[in-house]
């Protein structure tokens, strides 16, 4: 049996739910999973074929359940390519969600702001992306037991109807949001000033180290995708301050409650 079939068989021992939503949330938003009613929590380390996290003490979990009567699954512990995972392995969780029947995926991340009007704390709906790494999870991917496509849907990655709806929801909640293009860099080091100048020239509004491979994989499995970046800092060279990880975490904490309200409203809608 393929890894994916074994993984699905393992999960199906604990839950027969077909979640309406899958959520892959950037660090800092894991508390949302605490709101799940009657959660079924599965350690990813117990799932056959699930790539092991390379971060010490890092717990990977899938949390299944309902919020406001809506079934969903949270993927806790995103796999980054900069941790040493292949781009194919880093998107294993997305193929797993597709195998479970998930049709709608919400992805969030932290990002550096390139658009000069984006101050730290800005929430940006991702309307398009630039794949600066040129890595792609669909290259040479083993045929999966589930229908996936290498070519289809490669124009529209982020669902515009869902994004518009989400923007309106945010406005109704009094939460200002923007839209923009997210550029994926490999990391783990931050960008240079020259790189950020180049990224601005080619049309990037924000830069980060995740999300794009997951979105490519999700679209090839025909999922609808909604993407949201929290701008946690000015990208390199756009402010006088040195970029530091503490700042990224601090801004993430500040906007967390807005983000949580927003994600909950999206689910309930």
Sites of contact with ligand HPA (CB under 6 A): 110-112, 190-191, 207-209, 232-233, 235, 243, 248
Query: Which residue lies nearest ligand HPA, judged by its C-beta?
Result: 112
For residue 1, the minimal CB distance to ligand HPA (Å) is 37
Encode burial over 234-259: b for 16+ CB neighbours within 10 A, e otherwise.
bbbbbeeeebeeebbeebbeebeebb
For residue 87 the two structure tokens come to 């781009």
**215 or 221: CB nearest ligand HPA:** 215
* Catalytic one of 2, 27, 30, 239: 27
For residue 56 the two structure tokens come to 């010490």
State yes or no: is 58 an active-site residue.
yes
CA distance 243 to 237: 9
**39 or 237: CB nearest ligand HPA:** 237
State yes or no: is 109 an active-site residue.
no
State yes or no: is 83 an active-site residue.
yes
State yes or no: is 210 an active-site residue.
yes
**172 or 240: CB nearest ligand HPA:** 240
State yes or no: is 80 an active-site residue.
yes
For residue 252, the minimal CB distance to ligand HPA (Å) is 9
For residue 240 the two structure tokens come to 């006088």
For residue 64 the two structure tokens come to 């299944």
Strands (E), 147-223: 178-184, 206-208
Contact 123, 230 (CB under 8 A): yes
State yes or no: is 82 an active-site residue.
yes
Helix (H) or strand (E) holding 251: helix 245-254
**97 or 209: CB nearest ligand HPA:** 209
* Residues classed as catalytic: 27, 58, 80, 82-83, 110, 209-210, 233, 245
């Amino acid at each position: 049996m393929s890894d994916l079939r074994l993984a699905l068989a393992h999960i199906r021992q604990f839950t027969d739910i077909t979640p309406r939503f899958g959520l892959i949330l950037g660090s800092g938003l894991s508390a949302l999973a605490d709101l799940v009613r009657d959660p079924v929590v599965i350690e990813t380390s117990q799932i056959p074929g699930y790539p092991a996290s390379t971060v010490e003490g890092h717990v990977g979990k899938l949390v299944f359940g309902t919020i406001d009567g809506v079934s969903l699954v949270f993927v806790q512990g995103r796999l980054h390519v900069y941790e040493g995972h292949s781009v194919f392995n880093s998107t294993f969780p997305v193929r797993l969600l597709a195998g479970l029947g998930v049709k709608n995926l919400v992805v969030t991340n932290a990002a550096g702001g390139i658009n000069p009007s984006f101050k730290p704390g800005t929430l940006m709906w991702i309307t398009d992306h630039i794949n600066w790494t040129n890595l792609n999870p669909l290259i040479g991917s083993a045929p999966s037991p589930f229908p996936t496509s290498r070519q289809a849907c490669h124009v529209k990655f982020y669902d515009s109807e869902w994004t518009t709806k989400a923007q309106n929801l945010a406005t109704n909640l009094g939460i200002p949001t923007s839209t923009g293009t997210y550029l994926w860099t490999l990391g783990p080091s931050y960008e240079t000033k020259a790189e950020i100048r180049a990224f601005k020239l080619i049309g990037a509004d924000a830069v980060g180290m995740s999300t794009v491979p997951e979105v490519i994989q999700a679209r090839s499995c025909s999922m609808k995708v909604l993407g949201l970046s929290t701008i946690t800092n000015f990208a390199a060279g756009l402010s006088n301050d040195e970029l530091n990880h503490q700042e990224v975490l601090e801004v993430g904490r500040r906007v967390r409650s807005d983000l949580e309200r927003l994600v909950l409203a999206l689910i309930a809608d």
